[in-house]
Amino acid sequence: MATGVKPRVKVPKTAAAGDVITIKTLISHKMESGNRKDKDGNKIPRSIINRFTCDFNGTSVIDMTMYPAISTNPYVEFQAKVDASGEFKFTWYDDDGDIYEAAKSISVS
Amino acid sequence: MRKTLIATGLAAICLAGPALADPADMPLVIEGQEMISTVKAPDYIPGLDTAYSGWLFRSEETQALEIDDFENPGMPAVDYGLELWTTADGSEGKSCADCHGDISEMAGVRTTMPKVNEDGQLWAMENYINDCRVNRMGAEPWKWTKSPEMLGMTAAIGLQSRGMPMNVAVDGAAAPFWKQGEELYYTRVGQLDMSCANCHEDNYGNYIRADHLSQGQINGFPTYRLKWGGLGSIHRRFKGCMKNIRAEPYKPGGPEFLALELYVASRGNGLSVETPAVRN
Amino acid sequence: MKLTRRDALAMGLGATVVAMLPMRLSAAADDAIMAYTGGAEAGEGDITLTAPEIAENGNTVPIGVAAPGAVEIMVLALANPSPDVALFKFGPAAGAQAAKTRIRLAGTQDVVAIAKMPDGSFIKTSQSVKVTIGGCGG
Residue B231 has pLDDT above 70, yes or no: yes
> What CATH number should be reported for the domain holding residue C65?
2.60.40.2470
Which of B68, B198, B227 to probe the C interface (max C CBs under 10 A)?
Answer: B227
pLDDT at C16: 40
Nearest beta carbon to residue A81 from set C60, C89, C94:
C94
Residues of C in contact with A68 (CB under 8 A): 82, 104
pLDDT at B210: 79
Please give the biggest Cα pair distance in chain C: 53
The tally of domains found in chain C comes to: 1
Mean pLDDT of B193-212: 92
Q: Check if B246 contacts C (Cβ < 8 Å).
A: no
Mean pLDDT of C42-48: 95
**Closest residue by Cα to residue A82 from A23, A25, A16, A11:** A16
Instruction: Answer yes or no: is C136 within a domain.
Output: no
Query: How far off is chain C from A51, nearest CA to CA, in Å?
Result: 9
Question: What are the tens digits of pLDDT across the range C64-115?
Answer: 999 999 999 999 999 999 999 999 999 999 999 999 999 999 999 999 999 9
pLDDT at A4: 72
Q: Which of A26-40, B16-30, B213-227, B244-258 has the lowest mean pLDDT?
A: B16-30
Question: What are the tens digits of pLDDT across the range B30-40?
Answer: 999 999 999 99
Average pLDDT score, chain C: 83
- C-chain residue closest to B200, CA distance: C136
Q: pLDDT category, C27, cuts 50, 70, 90?
A: low
Question: What is the enclosing helix (H) or strand (E) of C74?
Answer: strand C72-77
* Alpha carbon distances (Å) from A33 to A70, A72, B29, B257, C87: 9, 9, 34, 34, 17
Residue B141 has pLDDT above 50, yes or no: yes
Instruction: Answer yes or no: is C80 within a domain.
Output: yes
Q: Report which listed range, A36-45, B166-175, B200-209, is most confident.
A: B166-175
* Alpha carbon distances (Å) from B27 to A98, B37, B167, B234, C14: 42, 8, 21, 25, 48
Average pLDDT score, chain B: 91
Query: What is the crossing angle of helices B234-244 and B255-267, to 10°?
Result: 100
Please answer whether residues A81 and A19 qualify as being in contact, where contact means their C-beta atoms are separated by less than 8 angstroms.
yes
**For residue B147, with 0-12 CB atoms within 10 Å meaning exposed, 13-18 middle and 19 or more buried, which class applies?**
middle
pLDDT at C32: 86
Residue B1 has pLDDT above 90, yes or no: no
Instruction: Report ipTM for this prediction.
Output: 0.95
Residue B71 has pLDDT above 70, yes or no: yes
Nearest beta carbon to residue C137 from set B64, B73, B244:
B244
- Residue ranges of chain A whose CB lies within 8 Å of a chain C CB: 20-21, 33, 35, 55-57, 59-72, 74-82
Active-site residue numbers of B? Answer: 241
Mean pLDDT of A39-68: 96
Which of A9, A26, A76, A92 to probe the B interface (max B CBs under 10 A)?
Answer: A26
Residue B229 has pLDDT above 70, yes or no: yes
pLDDT at C26: 58
pLDDT at C96: 97
pLDDT at C30: 77
Radius of gyration of chain A (CA): 16
Question: What is the enclosing helix (H) or strand (E) of B238?
Answer: helix B234-244
Q: pLDDT category, A3, cuts 50, 70, 90?
A: low
- A-chain residue closest to B72, CA distance: A26
Residue C56 and residue B226: Cβ atoms within 8 Å? yes
Task: Classify B98 in phi/psi space as left (phi over 0), alpha (psi -120 to 50) or beta.
Answer: alpha
End-to-end CA distance of chain C: 46
- C-chain residue closest to A30, CA distance: C59
Residue B19 has pLDDT above 60, yes or no: no
pLDDT at C5: 52
Q: C21 is in which domain, residue-wise?
A: 5-131
pLDDT at C134: 63
Question: What is the enclosing helix (H) or strand (E) of C90?
Answer: strand C84-90
Mean pLDDT of C21-48: 79
What is the pTM (predicted TM-score) of this model? 0.85
- Which of residues 45 through 64 in chain C touch B, CB cutoff 8 A? 52, 54-57, 59-62
Instruction: Answer yes or no: is C138 within a domain.
Output: no
